[in-house]
Structure 1
């Protein structure tokens, strides 16, 4: 369904919901006092962290918040791929959550759709002191000079690679397109169930978008070019489609792969390289029974892959550019929220409850708030000591060393992403909702489109969506 149809339906539904609320107000109002911080209803908090161990930690964290404040919170888990449509559905029925955990690509989109209260978020940041947040976090959350949601954590996409295989073959680390292609060719051995690389190519999964965007940024392919015009039909974007397709066609296993499928192949010792976020690092160390490494060497040494995996953050394309894609998670306060209580919850989650929030998955939740005015590095220092294991204990430093941890932290400050900082965050939200790039990647892989045609097709689709955005407001 074109996103413009979704938006029209949302506008009609919100109008109907507003009329219904007006009738309700004439009948005597609700159980709240209009945002004074007192309410008989619990806050509703949506989180994207749905794995059972993370849910348990968050529930315990929220119980402590309730004990301290008297404010009750109902935790609801929502899958990241479902949250855009879920927000539209709940907005139409007048049941938006009070606080919503979400990726940065949705902040501008939801603000434009009238779902987020930017003023409430800005007040939280101002009270906590903007200097205690990473600049990148605030920049990616800012729309029209206002922080529209409060940044909590972030991660940069990294290339995991088998150091043992690279060293044995005398290969350079996969820091560039040339090095990646050379390594993929040298290490690809499908007859022995070993592949040069495992990539995301699921047409409905955001990991495909994230990996493509990572490579595109490294090659100087931008969503927005000169004069604030769409630039996805640029030669460098065509080259990125060609590069991605060559890897998929010549050096990756057959089939459709999302992030879970990628991990499974790498954990089985079947892939020389895997571009993905850092959420797999604890699994490589053998610290989660649900996804244990099962490579040939892993039976005797469950942490073998951690010891023999290198990471590369920034990728260099064909033209000397280097970049790393990154993603920040934000906490948004909705327009239907019990505002003061919602602000108290957000302040807690990036304050007294922050370290426990990050402890859900430390390797994938690098703090966007570094500390407090009195203790500027408090949260970063605490994060480095967090246990990243699920069934066994272990820290990032213990398994990967100080240098790797520093690279992960530096990436959280310096990474890049399409369009948001240029003021086109709403269009980026559209791009992710429609999974336009993943669909184009699949069409190139299946021979439906050439790389040139795919770039032109994406350019036209987003031009149409941008026209709709501009005409709407």
Structure 2
């Protein structure tokens, strides 16, 4: 009898061990808008290292274009197929929190320990629902050599900016054709709204005011869009179809003397014209006549991690975020995906010797440090405009095609600045039921 019981116990143990051996691993679905080959390569290397150190977990990387992230997430949430984890934007956090879609991340934030609280998205619950991962800083890139040759200084005001753009739009070889333009600006939707947001804030205007009323059609906003129209006159032809990438190529190849752009510009200079590097300078976005503070700004866009409540693997997803943000992986992310574009948000990295000594950063060290200094001094973003106030509208508003479509109609000469912004403002009031 005892022998039979021993055999039965042994058989049970074998079956249990076999079941554990062949149990399906936990799968984390990770949605990212970073579709650049170098970014995908870095993500896959971090995923491989995580899976090696967490043998019971697999990470499935999926992608959506940056402009399609919100629509794709909305569709997935409605269908009950949301990812476990997403690399996202703070603009999407407040409405997702209000809908009860996100997991709190206070524990991960505390464990990492050195991310400034100001980078965490303000929300109606007062908890931490996102982990800031990187900052992208949009600045005015300019050609130091061309400014020196023309005897002009980098601009600090709209008026100086326009004069510089005009002075640097020239026929350099006297063949009767302009071959160097003062600036290159975006005009193609949806990217035209990127430049306009900077000019809007620089002129003291807002998309929504501190009482969450639509403000995009205010006189100061109209003045900012009219200024963009003036800059357009000193930009290469075809502005209405000029994309975000076109702007960086125009600057890198010497077609334009200025460009409003984030740090990915450095990557494109390395790619298209590496000899240009010593001739490149940066300054914050100049301020307009409507800006009573007379302070410049930088558009500091935060990228973050969020985890959805529908996830069946919340613990594993949090472990992945923590792993991703730790030193070895974080360095690989910062220097491997888009060096100089994705800048550190962790305080411990502001003077990290390994980061600044990395070959991808070392040649741009001064510009990267300058970008970070400007960001901490002048940085703003859609959800930083009114400290302590939760804006539930801005994510949907900026993703609404009306915004970029009306900007493009203005750039194309189909409407005035006032008409374009009035149409946008009315669409938003109807969308959100704001009187």
TM tier relative to shorter chain? 0.7 to 0.9
Q: 1:327 Cα shift?
A: 0.5
Of 398, 402, 413, the residue aligned with 2:363 is: 398
Deviation string for 1:194-227 (max 9, x for gaps)?
A: 212111111223xx22211111111111223354
Q: 1:186 Cα shift?
A: 1.0
Q: Is the 8 A contact 1:198 1:271 kept in 2?
A: yes
Q: 1:114 Cα shift?
A: 4.0
Q: Secondary structure at the match of 1:325?
A: strand
Deviation string for 1:265-292 (max 9, x for gaps)?
A: 12221111111111011332x3x3xxx2
Residues 95 and 45 of structure 1, relative CA distance in 2, 3 Å threshold? same
- CA distance in 2 between counterparts of 1:204 and 1:259 reads 9
- CA distance in 1 between counterparts of 2:340 and 2:359 reads 9
Of 71, 83, 107, the residue aligned with 1:123 is: 107
1:356 and 2:332 matched: yes
Counterpart for residue 229 of structure 2: 245
Of 289, 294, 314, the residue aligned with 1:339 is: 314
- CA distance in 2 between counterparts of 1:72 and 1:386 reads 30
Q: Is the 8 A contact 1:367 1:380 kept in 2?
A: no
- CA distance in 1 between counterparts of 2:152 and 2:214 reads 37
1:304 and 2:267 matched: no
Of 404, 413, 433, the residue aligned with 1:438 is: 404
1:274 and 2:259 matched: yes
Of 194, 197, 208, the residue aligned with 1:210 is: 194
Q: 1:59 Cα shift?
A: 0.9
- CA distance in 1 between counterparts of 2:385 and 2:226 reads 27
Deviates more, 1:414-423 or 1:160-169: 414-423
1:461 and 2:432 matched: no
Q: Secondary structure at the match of 2:163?
A: helix
Counterpart for residue 178 of structure 1: 159
Counterpart for residue 159 of structure 1: 140
Q: Secondary structure at the match of 2:67?
A: coil
Q: 1:2-401 counterparts in 2 under 5 A?
A: 40-70=25-55, 71-117=57-103, 119=104, 121-129=105-113, 132-138=114-120, 140=121, 142-189=123-170, 191-205=177-191, 208-225=192-209, 227-255=211-239, 256-284=241-269, 286=270, 288=271, 292-293=272-273, 303-318=274-289, 319=291, 320-337=294-311, 338-352=313-327, 353-359=329-335, 360-371=337-348, 377=349, 380-388=352-360, 395=361, 397-399=362-364, 401=365
Deviation string for 1:85-135 (max 9, x for gaps)?
A: 211222233221111001222222333444322x2x223113333xx1124
- CA distance in 2 between counterparts of 1:263 and 1:458 reads 28
Q: Secondary structure at the match of 2:217?
A: coil
- CA distance in 2 between counterparts of 1:262 and 1:251 reads 10
Q: Is the 8 A contact 1:141 1:150 kept in 2?
A: no
- CA distance in 2 between counterparts of 1:366 and 1:177 reads 27
1:416 and 2:380 matched: yes
Deviation string for 1:63-104 (max 9, x for gaps)?
A: 111111222211123221121121122223322111100122
Deviates more, 1:307-316 or 1:331-340: 307-316
Q: Secondary structure at the match of 1:275?
A: strand
1:449 and 2:426 matched: no
- CA distance in 2 between counterparts of 1:113 and 1:437 reads 24
- CA distance in 1 between counterparts of 2:356 and 2:253 reads 28
Gaps of 5+ in 2: 1-22, 172-176
- CA distance in 2 between counterparts of 1:329 and 1:181 reads 32
Counterpart for residue 9 of structure 2: none
Residues 161 and 365 of structure 1, relative CA distance in 2, 3 Å threshold? same
Gaps of 5+ in 1: 1-37, 294-302, 372-376, 389-394
- CA distance in 2 between counterparts of 1:277 and 1:263 reads 10
Q: Secondary structure at the match of 2:340?
A: helix
Deviation string for 1:425-468 (max 9, x for gaps)?
A: 43110122114432222122233322222232222222222327
Q: Is the 8 A contact 2:90 2:383 kept in 1?
A: no
TM-score (norm 2): 0.84
TM-score (norm 1): 0.78
Task: Tell me how large the CA RMSD over aligned residues is.
Answer: 2.4
Q: Secondary structure at the match of 1:418?
A: coil
Q: Secondary structure at the match of 2:363?
A: helix
